[in-house]
Amino acid sequence: MNSNRKIVLVTGSNKGIGYGIIEILLQKKSNLRIVLTSRNEDLGKKSFNKLLTKYPYSKDYFYYHQLDITNKESISNLISWIRREFGKIDYLVNNAGLGTYASRTEIDIHMSVLEVNAFATINFTEEMIKKNMINKKGKIIFVGSDSGYLYSLKSNKIKNDFKNAKTTQDLLNLAQSFKNSFLKGTEEKDGWCSSCYSVSKMIINSYPRILSYRREIEKNDISVYSVHLGWVKTDMGGSHAPLTIRQGAECEVFLIELPDGINKEYQGQFFHRFKVSSLD
C-alpha cells in the first residue's frame, strides 16, 4: 500500500501553517506518505506524536525527520534518510520561514529573517534538485507573501532586475545586494524598501519563475509555484489576523492537489490565495 502513495515533505511543520497543511492531509486521508520536519527535534516529535495520537490510522504513512534548512549536515542527513526510506519524494513544500517585529537596530534578527527565508530556502531547494530528490511530475511549492510585491521598491532599476532575472544566481545577487545595503543602513537610499521580510519574499515569489527555466525542471515535468496564504493567526501573523491556520493551509493543499505535470498557465507563477497574481 505504502509504495503506491506519493510522498509530500513539509519544512518547518511542527506548528503554524506547516502543521495545518499536514493536519488537513491527515484528516482527508489523502493517498500520500507525509513527512513532518522541524528544526527543533523535541518540538517536532511532540507535534508528530500529537497528530499520530489524533489520527492513529496514519501510522503506516506518516513520518518525522529533523531538518534545519540553514545547516548543511542536517540537509545531508535528511537527503540520506529520504534515499533509504523512499528513494525520492514527490512534493516539496518550502514552508520554513521567519518573520519579525524587531526594531531596525536589531540587525541580527533581521539578518536571520533574510537568511532563512531567502538564502537557506534557495540553498535547500537547490540541494534537493542537484541530488535529484524530486520524482518526475513532482511539485516544489514555496510560501511567498504579498509583502513581496515589487511596488514597495523605490528603484525602477531594481524592479526590472527582479523581472529580468533568469538564474538562481541572479536572485542571490539581488539578495546579497540588499543585505549589503541593509548592513550599511542605506537600503532606502539605494532603492530598496526597509523590510528584510519583504525583500526575502520578493526573492521567494520570483524563484519559481527562475526554476521554470531550468532544464532539469522541464525535463522531469516538475511544477513550481509560490503562494500568498493570507494574513493568518500564527505566531508570525498574530492573534488579530482574520484567517485561521486551516484557512491559510488550504492554499497549500490546493496546490499540492493540482494535477501533476507542468501546467503552462500555472508554471512558475505566484498565487495570491487561490488565483495567479502579478508580482507588481
pLDDT, tens digit (0-9, with 9 covering 90-100), for 141-180: 999 999 999 999 999 999 999 999 999 999 999 999 999 9
Give the global pTM.
0.96
Phi, psi (degrees; rounded to nearest 5) at 158: -65, -40
CA 124: distance to chain centroid? 10
Residues in the chain: 280
Phi, psi (degrees; rounded to nearest 5) at 232: -115, 145
The span from the CA of 192 to the CA of 181, in Å, is 8
Which three cell numbers, joined as nine digits, stand for 20? 495545518
Parallel, antiparallel, or unpaired for β 275-277 and 270-272? antiparallel
How many CB atoms neighbour CB 44 within 10 A? 21
Mean pLDDT, residues 216-229 taken together? 97
Q: Using an 8 Å Cβ cutoff, are 200 and 113 in contact?
A: yes
Which H or E run includes 203? helix 196-212
Mean pLDDT, residues 216-226 taken together? 98
The span from the CA of 275 to the CA of 168, in Å, is 25
- Residue 57: pLDDT over 60: yes
- Across the chain, what does the average pLDDT equal? 96
The span from the CA of 141 to the CA of 144, in Å, is 9
**pLDDT for the residue numbered 26:** 98
The span from the CA of 251 to the CA of 142, in Å, is 11
Short-list 122, 98, 93, CA closest to 195:
98
Strand partners for 35: 9, 63
Which H or E run includes 27? helix 16-27
Beta strand residue intervals within the chain, DSSP E: 6-10, 32-38, 62-66, 89-94, 134-143, 223-228, 270-272, 275-277
Parallel, antiparallel, or unpaired for β 223-228 and 270-272? parallel
- Residue 1: pLDDT over 60: no
Mean pLDDT, residues 252-258 taken together? 97
Query: Which residues, in sequence order, are CB contacts of 253 under 8 Å at separation 6+?
Result: 21, 24, 25, 28
Residue 167, class by beta-carbon neighbours within 10 Å (0-12 exposed, 13-18 middle, 19+ buried)? Answer: exposed
Domains and CATH numbers, the chain: 2-102+121-150+207-277 (3.40.50.720)
